[in-house]
Chains A and B, each alone.
Chain A
Amino acid sequence: MNFKKIASAVAVAGALVAAGAIPGQAATLDDVKAAGTLKCGINTGLPGFAYTDDAGNWTGFDVAYCRAMAAAVLGDASAISFVNLTGKTRFPALASGEIDVLSRNTTWTFSRDVDLGFTFIGVSYYDGQGFIGRTALGIGSATELDGASVCIQTGTTTELNLADFFRVNGITYEPVPIETNAEARAAYEAERCDVYTTDASGLAATRTTFENPGDHMVFPEIVSKEPLGPLVRQGDDQWADIARWTLNALITAEELGVTQANVAEMANGTDHPEINRMLGSEGSLGEMLGLDAQWAVRAIAAEGNYAEIFDRYIGADSPLALGRGLNALYTDGGILYSPPFR
């Protein structure tokens, strides 16, 4: 793991040192088409978001976005080479061009967007950082954690939020920094730490993997805003537009009732002009992106619209059973809102 991380870091250095223009300045779309596969950066394994199914294929909420994008760009939802990345290796991997798009529950922050030279193309999941602990501890709130040992994943915004939370509340703690979710979980299970902290969605996912999920509780405090979304390198606006509108297409599809099942039929034309524009039977939106007219049809056909993807992997139909909450459409009381297709 250490070697992989250093290798990636060196790869960035190498890529920056290597002669010629760095990737990101070039047209990523052309590179992806020439390669015939989309290099998509995903988690090393997080139930619901990125995990392998029984057949050994990567699947999950974050993976579904990669598939939609590969379908939109290459016409084949399976034309993806997945690159599994830890919290630390993800940014060097994207910066060096090892991947074309990063879809790995990554929080959109100012410094990542501005200073690291990336472009966040939207929010696919509104999350917040929470704590999980044993019910046997007998506490009901994270503010009662004075003196506790807290397991955290290194290289994430959670590390910073954690320090802020304890500082603001004037309580002490011992941080136990661990590299991956799996190891952090192992340390938590061995009671090396009293609580484990990460994004609330991740906590729900992790909780399902415990032997007795009922022995553990997620504390009510959400200590941060964690808008998670895909990101690309800064400097290739066309590629960023493709990534952004692929996500928007999935959200708009839910809003307009376009599903995996009916998208092919609707693509032939409906009496709803926005559907027609999005699915290419009217106007030339696909052409403006540098793609063909059917791009959104394929993106939606890959794994369905936002609601279908959500329910299948992390929502009601999944073991995680996360509620939509903030991630419901704005029409349903959430804040999920896509700009219009016109």
Chain B
Amino acid sequence: MTDKAPSGGGGFDISRAWTDERARGVIFQIIIVLGLAGLAAFIVSNTITNLREAGLSSGYGFLFDTANFDINQRLLDYASTSTYGQAFVVGALNTILVAVMGIAMATVIGFVTGVLRLSNNFLISRIVGVWVEFTRNVPVLLQIIFWWLIMLALPRVRDSISIGDAAFLNNRGIFLPSPIFEDGSAIVLAMIAVGIAATVLVRRWARKRQDATGRTFPVGWIGLGLIVGIPVIVYFAVGQPLDFDLPEKKKFNLKGGFNITPELIALWLALSTYTGAFISEIVRGGILSVSKGQTEASGALGLRRGLTMRKIILPQALRVIIPPMTSQYLNLTKNSSLAVAIGYQDIVSIGDTILNQSGQALEVISLYMAFYLVLSLLTSAFMNWYNKRIALVER
């Protein structure tokens, strides 16, 4: 081995590596990667050593142990004899439920208030403005507790507000009749599916026709008829094959039917109004970003104001609106972990119980992280796809 590497002929002179900018860059990157890997290895090995020294068991085997506690809101079958793993899944679904409900409601609230705030009516735009500023600037945890206390202030079980003796509202939530499907109900459900499919086809046809001839078609009304009207007719035609399990007053509670807990309602309202206020501002910004000339041109063509907003302004504004909306959706999903304050059994609330009963702190926290990471990445992926779809297509 000679100290001097042969130079020239495509060879690499090691002594010149340091002075060569590109080689230096590579060297630095290798050093940093090695350093990071070393740090990660140190953290992992040290954690394992310390866990062992502390006599704590580690690993995810505990997920198969019996949970021994109950959960009041479950989208899957779950009992106290189920496992920790099943409890986790129930919690994850509860988080997803409130996130999806919250995102839907926040979007509606955001769009409506965002448009209203630009209203020419001074009173409306002011009221919405005050509401947005107030809601945006009060910590969401306080709002969650505020809505929860409002729910608790509803009438007590004995004095439930009854709607036709079928639905009830009290401070233990909303009690609705739950459907019992009998013979023949499959036909009705099939008709609804057919109606949805038909509406999609009609919409496609109507759009094509409008592109070709400029004539519009009332897709909304036709769709309503197809999706709701026809199934209702069929429902009566086959002899009302749907029965309802009505909530009934029992000694302590209303029994039967379908219960939406006050915790879910409080969390849902708090998250959707809080995030809705942010979305409202994003929508307002998006609309204002569309050149005024578009409105004027639309007016010159004789389009009404509502139609101008729907067909001209919003589609263009969406390009500005969608990217920041994604982070609002992610925020809402993550804020839902504050549910623990009011006892809504989301993944964090249930996970904390598991953590406390099993003592597997690192494992439980890692499961939280993985869950929120996956959920957020999925949301982002969907929003990016949608963003690409509505992006300006340059011709």
Q: Are B171 and A191 in touch, CB under 8 angstroms?
A: yes
What are the residues of chain B within 8 A of A156 when measuring CB–CB?
356
A154 to B250, CA, bound (A): 27
Q: Mark B332-365, 1 if CB is under 8 A from A, else 0.
A: 0000011011010100110011011111011011
How many A residues are at the interface, by size bracket? Answer: 35 or more
Q: Are B70 and A162 in touch, CB under 8 angstroms?
A: yes
B108 part of interface (Cβ distance < 8 Å): no
What are the residues of chain A within 8 A of B353 when measuring CB–CB?
88, 154-155, 159, 177
Q: Mark B237-254, 1 if CB is under 8 A from A, else 0.
A: 000000000000011110
Q: How far is the CB of B119 from chain A (nearest CB, A)?
A: 38
Q: Mark B29-64, 1 if CB is under 8 A from A, else 0.
A: 000000000000001001100110111110000000
Which of A62-70, A145-153, A273-281 makes up part of the contact surface?
A: A145-153
CB within 8 Å for A147 and B255 given contacts A9-B365, A13-B365, A160-B69: yes
Q: Mark B261-279, 1 if CB is under 8 A from A, else 0.
A: 0100000000000000000
Q: Are B352 and A155 in touch, CB under 8 angstroms?
A: yes
Q: Are B46 and A19 in touch, CB under 8 angstroms?
A: yes
B162 part of interface (Cβ distance < 8 Å): no
B105 part of interface (Cβ distance < 8 Å): no
A178 to B349, CA, bound (A): 10
Select one of A16, A25, A149, A175 contacting B47, CB under 8 A: A16
What are the residues of chain B within 8 A of A116 when measuring CB–CB?
56, 359
Which of B152-160, B297-305, B378-386 makes up part of the contact surface?
A: B152-160
A335 part of interface (Cβ distance < 8 Å): no
A25 to B358, CA, bound (A): 22
Q: Are B252 and A190 in touch, CB under 8 angstroms?
A: no
What are the residues of chain B within 8 A of A176 when measuring CB–CB?
72, 343
What are the residues of chain B within 8 A of A34 when measuring CB–CB?
none
Q: Mark B296-335, 1 if CB is under 8 A from A, else 0.
A: 0000000000000000000000000000000000000000
Q: Are A167 and B355 in touch, CB under 8 angstroms?
A: no
Q: Mark B156-191, 1 if CB is under 8 A from A, else 0.
A: 110000000000000110000000000000000000
A212 part of interface (Cβ distance < 8 Å): no
B71 part of interface (Cβ distance < 8 Å): yes
A178 to B352, CA, bound (A): 12
B80 part of interface (Cβ distance < 8 Å): yes
Q: Are A234 and B55 in touch, CB under 8 angstroms?
A: yes
Q: How many A-B residue pairs have CB under 8 A?
A: 144
A145 to B345, CA, bound (A): 22
A288 part of interface (Cβ distance < 8 Å): no
B141 part of interface (Cβ distance < 8 Å): yes
B210 part of interface (Cβ distance < 8 Å): no
CB within 8 Å for A179 and B362 given contacts A87-B356, A190-B153: no
CB within 8 Å for A115 and B356 given contacts A17-B46, A145-B252, A163-B68: no
Q: Mark A151-174, 1 if CB is under 8 A from B, else 0.
A: 000111001101110110000011
What are the residues of chain B within 8 A of A155 when measuring CB–CB?
352-353, 356-357
What are the residues of chain A within 8 A of B54 when measuring CB–CB?
16, 22, 24-25, 95, 117, 234-235
Q: Are B71 and A175 in touch, CB under 8 angstroms?
A: yes
A194 part of interface (Cβ distance < 8 Å): yes
A192 to B355, CA, bound (A): 26
A91 part of interface (Cβ distance < 8 Å): yes
A2 part of interface (Cβ distance < 8 Å): yes
CB within 8 Å for A115 and B70 given contacts A167-B80, A187-B152: no
What are the residues of chain B within 8 A of A21 when measuring CB–CB?
50, 53
Q: Are B72 and A175 in touch, CB under 8 angstroms?
A: yes
16 contacting pairs across A/B (C-beta < 8 A): A5-B340, A5-B352, A9-B364, A115-B56, A115-B359, A117-B56, A147-B250, A154-B356, A155-B357, A163-B80, A164-B68, A164-B80, A173-B70, A175-B70, A178-B343, A235-B55
